[in-house]
């Protein structure tokens, strides 16, 4: 029997309409083109997140018959309600509430990381606020730069609670909550701990939804510029798959624009000595990960195997599921594999001392900044990767250099570590890592050519997915989750013995790396994530080679340097260990 929506009849700005019961005033107002400003409100439908704290009070509207105004983002319509969105009383209240917020806000717009990307700044302009009539004491709390991934500035917190909702309800990490009361209130870790002393995964989703500069990534741009000026150093760069379908947004290009060739040209203009594609290392990762999966299947190893490319996800299971540390793949992430190969294989090929090479990564994720600081990801005293910048930071650097990214000609990556297949490109989207692994595992297990490489049952944007792939005399059972809250559900199902998989892919960010915490801000528009995902698969489809084991430069690496996949030297250089960490 079909579900029949219960409708309510309402009036907005003199227009009668019917809307489903449970609709907010703010949602209903859109139907009559009434534009009500919001600040704390955020509806990320594709992420499964709605923030309706109604704390900022800039969305106030007048309800006929009531003396008090109502917050439109949180109040549901009722039968017969009459609403006026543009009354002088409502407009004046919005301006007053915004002025009160601004009166306690640092006026550092010119040097703020969110300058021109700040919702508070944009709303102040929209409401025509150029003078603050309230003068007095302002909050003053210390800046937290304790972690290698993000900066927390409590003085810029407006108590919108977006980050809290994301951290607790979507990612289920439980790091952020309201502290203190009244004038001194701010959002941060319990007991006002430094972020580095918490169980934060540094996924960066709190940064992605913060409307101000209260949360931002650690700035590594000046360190990269300084490295490029050190002519005695050989400075190389690598760029992740998800960056190429998002960086164009920093230059007003359509979301999902593919800019692979422009990136190669831009890096050379910036002065890098070597320009590499992390896709090459993604193909290398698949060779190792598929080999590890096959080894576990054939030798009765621990299953399911969990992919380990996402550093936020790695920190999540180290803290939250330490009893499952024997399940994840021991493979390093593509970023780290690339760094390792640059400072070993590439260094030998180019006759350059490894200590004279500086590796810069451009990643869609702020967790990658923390990943390169892990002690187990070093070659002796050297870090595998020296500095990480996000997609956003690269955009700022290109603008600083005056490079017209939109009109750049397409260039090529250095082929020694630059050739890639379509399998590596789909790493940027949820389901892509496991699909790439299946393309290789299928041919290695069946010894048959895979004619159709599109495993569409592994694609999509549902938070938790499962699929079965026939492989000769067995069926490979696969689980996929993106977003740490969904990862928790899947892992708890494994702990209870309710879920049975051979392999699982987990990505910390909704949508995978395309929705990473270091990508251009989507401001709640989930269609942008979809367009980035579509672009990932378009580029995959356009590649002449779409299986990682067809990457000739990767297979040459094994012949010349590593030996057998999943062999002794490969283990030494391309695999790592994990450590159980105490929840804080």
Write out the catalytic residue numbers. Answer: 289, 292, 309, 329, 368, 371, 376, 513
Helix (H, G, I), strand (E, B) or coil at 37: coil
Q: What beta strand segments (E) does 225-277 contain? A: 234-239, 274-277
Residue with tokens 């928790």: 488
3-state secondary structure 125-183: HHCCCCCCCCCCCCCCCCCECCCCCEEECHHHCCCCCHHHHHHHHHCCCCCCEEECCHH
Q: Are 51 and 42 in contact (CB under 8 A)?
A: yes
Interior/surface letters 267-287, b for 16+ CB within 10 angstroms, e for the rest: bbebebbbbbbbbbbbbbbbb
CB neighbour list of residue 289: distance below 8 Å, 6 or more residues apart? 305, 307, 329, 331, 433, 437
Dihedral through CA 143, CA 146, CA 149, CA 150, nearest 10? -20
- Give bridge partners of residue 505 from the DSSP assignment: 480
Which residues touch 252 (CB under 8 Å, ≥6 apart)? 406
Q: Which residue has tokens 């717009």?
A: 109
């Amino acid at each position: 029997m079909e579900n029949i929506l219960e409708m309510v009849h309402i009036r907005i700005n003199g227009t009668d309409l019917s809307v489903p019961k449970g609709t907010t005033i703010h949602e209903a107002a859109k139907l009559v083109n009434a534009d009500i400003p919001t600040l704390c409100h955020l509806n990320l439908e594709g992420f499964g997140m709605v923030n309706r704290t109604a704390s900022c009070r800039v969305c106030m509207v007048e309800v006929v018959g009531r003396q008090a105004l109502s917050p439109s983002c949180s109040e549901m319509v009722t039968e017969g309600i009459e609403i006026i969105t543009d009354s002088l009383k409502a407009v004046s209240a919005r301006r007053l509430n915004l002025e009160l917020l601004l009166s306690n806000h640092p006026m550092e717009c010119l040097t703020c990381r969110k300058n021109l990307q700040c919702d508070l700044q944009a709303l102040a302009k929209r409401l025509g606020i150029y003078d603050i009539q309230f003068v007095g004491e302002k909050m003053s709390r210390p800046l937290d730069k304790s972690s290698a991934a993000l900066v927390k500035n409590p003085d810029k917190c407006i108590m919108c609670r977006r980050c809290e909702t994301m951290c607790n309800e979507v990612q289920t990490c439980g790091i952020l909550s309201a502290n203190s009361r009244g004038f001194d209130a701010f959002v941060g870790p319990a007991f006002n701990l430094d972020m580095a002393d918490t169980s934060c995964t540094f996924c960066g989703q709190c940064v992605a939804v913060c409307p101000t500069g209260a949360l931002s990534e650690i700035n590594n741009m000046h360190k990269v510029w300084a490295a490029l000026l050190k002519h005695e150093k050989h400075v190389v760069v690598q760029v992740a798959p998800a960056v190429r379908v998002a960086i164009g947004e920093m230059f007003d290009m359509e979301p999902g624009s593919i800019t692979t060739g422009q990136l190669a040209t831009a890096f050379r203009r910036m002065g890098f000595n070597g320009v590499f594609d992390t896709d090459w290392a993604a193909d290398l990762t698949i060779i190792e990960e598929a080999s590890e999966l096959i080894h576990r299947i054939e030798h009765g190893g621990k299953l399911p195997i969990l992919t380990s490319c996402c550093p936020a996800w790695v920190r999540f299971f180290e803290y939250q599921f330490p009893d499952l540390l024997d399940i994840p793949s021991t493979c390093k992430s593509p970023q780290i594999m690339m760094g390792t190969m640059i400072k070993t294989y590439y260094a030998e090929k180019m006759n350059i001392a490894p200590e004279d090479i500086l590796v810069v990564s451009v990643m869609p994720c702020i967790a990658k900044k923390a990943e390169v600081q892990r002690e187990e990801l070093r070659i002796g005293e050297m870090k595998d990767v020296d500095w990480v910048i996000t997609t956003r930071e690269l955009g700022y650097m290109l603008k600083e250099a005056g490079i017209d990214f939109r009109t750049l000609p397409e260039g090529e990556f250095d082929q020694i570590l630059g050739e890639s297949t379509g399998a590596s490109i789909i790493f940027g989207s949820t389901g892509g890592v496991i699909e790439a692994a299946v393309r290789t595992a299928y041919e290695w297990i069946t010894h048959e050519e895979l004619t159709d490489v599109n495993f569409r049952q592994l694609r999509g944007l549902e938070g938790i997915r499962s699929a079965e792939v026939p492989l000769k005399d067995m069926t490979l059972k696969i689980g996929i989750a993106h977003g740490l809250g969904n990862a928790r559900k899947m892992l708890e199902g494994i702990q209870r013995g309710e879920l049975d998989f051979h392999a699982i892919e987990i990505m910390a960010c909704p949508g995978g790396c395309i929705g990473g915490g270091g990508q251009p801000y989507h401001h709640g528009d989930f269609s942008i994530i979809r367009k980035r995902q579509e672009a990932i698969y378009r580029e995959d489809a356009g590649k002449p080679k779409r299986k990682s084991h067809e990457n000739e430069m990767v297979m040459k690496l094994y012949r010349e340097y590593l030996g057998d996949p999943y062999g002794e030297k490969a283990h030494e250089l391309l695999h790592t260990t994990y450590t159980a960490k105490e929840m804080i």
